[in-house]
Amino acid sequence: MAAELPRGRVRILTQETRIGRPAAELARQAPNPMLNGHQAWLDGLVRAASGKARA
């Protein structure tokens, strides 16, 4: 879900359940691939919104 904010900003809300054996196994790994994947997705959104190509 995205919500528009003042000055052209956008808030993105995500929700995950982490239900099930695969999710539980990922959550126990270090570094956590689920968290790293979400961060990579957010970084990509920032690059796309700013018009910057991936390095």
pLDDT digits (tens, 9 = 90+) for 7-42: 878 788 777 777 889 888 888 888 888 889 889 998
What contacts 27, CB < 8 A, 6 or more positions away? 18, 34
CB 49 within 8 A of CB 55: no
Residue 2 confidence (pLDDT): 62
Between CA 12 and CA 21 the distance in angstroms is: 27
Q: Is residue 8 part of a domain?
A: no
Phi/psi at 32 (5° precision): -75, 110
* pLDDT score of 55 more than 60: no
> How many structural domains are present in the chain?
1
Q: Is residue 46 part of a domain?
A: yes
CB 34 within 8 A of CB 27: yes
Q: Is residue 36 part of a domain?
A: yes
Q: Is residue 42 part of a domain?
A: yes
Q: Is residue 43 part of a domain?
A: yes
Q: Is residue 49 part of a domain?
A: yes
